[in-house]
Structure 1
Amino acid sequence: SDATDLGRDFGAGLTEAELRWFTTHEFATTAEDVLWRRTKLGLRMTVAQRQAVQDWLAQRREAA
């Protein structure tokens, strides 16, 4: 188990593994939900990083 197991790093310490956890256990569906309601990571992320989170979540919803 190492950092590569966590998947993509979206910035501000948020990883793909954490996003998967938020969607499967916390039922988060939007970047706003993860970055502003459940955490305050949006304060430390760039606009591009926040958009990457939103894009990843949208792609996950489409695949479901």
Structure 2
Amino acid sequence: MPAFIITAKSDRCGRKIKKGQTFQIVTNYENICTAAIADGLEAQLGKWAREASHIDYWIVRKM
């Protein structure tokens, strides 16, 4: 399964996610998408993190 490293471009979710904070997202999709980011953030941080899932909020690198 493809894995991606995402890095926050700026503070999100009332500063609960800080600029430069990174997360690893493993997905069934070949390319990362907003749904995969939302699912990955929710699994790691909780439901509140889904609002930070827009692809433009993140720097994405494939592992």
Relative to the length of structure 1, the TM-score reads 0.41
Larger radius of gyration: 1
Larger relative contact order (CA 8 Å, sep ≥ 6): 2
Judging by fraction of residues, say which structure has more strand: 2
Relative to the length of structure 2, the TM-score reads 0.41
